[in-house]
Chains A and B, each alone.
Chain A
Amino acid sequence: MLHIVNKSATERSSLESCLRMATKGSAVLLIEDAVYAATNGNAAAAKIQAAAADLKIYALGPDLAARGMAGRVLDGVNVVDYGGFVDLVAEHSNCQSWL
């Protein structure tokens, strides 16, 4: 399953809920304000890095760039463009947005 998260982890709990429920081997894509969680020094960074052991973590490049965060991405997070976003949805048999 592909989990899509769009909320900043320092404002809302959707990333935390997602990481709690994502089963081993599934993918998590951070878009919109959720991309901040995938950057160095963010309060959620440790959670992302711990989760990366069991989950594949992706962040949407255009949303990182738009926020001045393109150069601060955590190791272990895969940056994808919109083409990569489409591929992730196609590759996984189901997807879910943590609104």
Chain B
Amino acid sequence: MQFGILVNEGPYNHEASDSAYLFARTAIEKGHKVPRIFFYHDGVNNSTRMAEPPQDDRNVTARWSKLAEEHGIDLVVCVAAALRRGIKDELLAPGFRISGLGQLVEMGIQYDRLVTFGD
């Protein structure tokens, strides 16, 4: 089955991106496909490679990049939400790209399920 995932909150401030990550990883482990994850609202803050969490904490952004690389996931950051919050192409961690909201709507149309994680 193909799952689309929508992440609406930034890392660290809210559990949403942790829940979304664990859901995505587990879905893949169980043989499902997660072709794309869309980041909206403050969720765009998951994408910046400038984040440097303490050594003893999880690195949310690096974790997304690794999952994307291992499983070919398209990590899409909403352009309008990103520009509002100072997220630009040159700041993106590996695996992330900036694109339009149409990419979110496509997930709803094309995939079997769309699961939202937010506040």
Contact = CB atoms under 8 A, between A and B. Distances in A.
B113 A97 contact: no
Interface size grouping (class) on chain B: 20 to 34
B26 A85 contact: yes
A61 to B, nearest CB: 12
Contacts, number: 48
A94 B115 CA distance: 9
A97 B117 contact: yes
Interface of B: 1, 3, 8, 15-16, 19, 22-23, 25-27, 29-30, 32, 112-119
A85 B113 CA distance: 13
Q: Can you list the 9 inter-chain pairs with the closest CB atoms, starting with the nearest?
A: A82-B26, A97-B116, A99-B118, A86-B27, A32-B15, A82-B22, A86-B26, A90-B1, A89-B113
A31 interface: yes
Interface residues of A, number: 18
Given A32-B15, A89-B3, A90-B1, A95 B26 contact: no
A99 B118 CA distance: 6
A interface majority secondary structure: helix
Nearest to B114: A95
Interface string A71-99: 00000000000110111011000110101
Contact of A90 (B8, B19, B32, B119): B32
Contacts of A89: 3, 27, 113, 115
Contact of A97 (B1, B25, B30, B118): B118
Contacts of B32: 86, 90
Contacts of A4: 115
B19 A83 contact: no
Contact of A86 (B8, B15, B23): B23
Nearest to A31: B19
A83 B30 contact: yes
Given A82-B22, A82-B23, A86-B23, A99 B115 contact: no
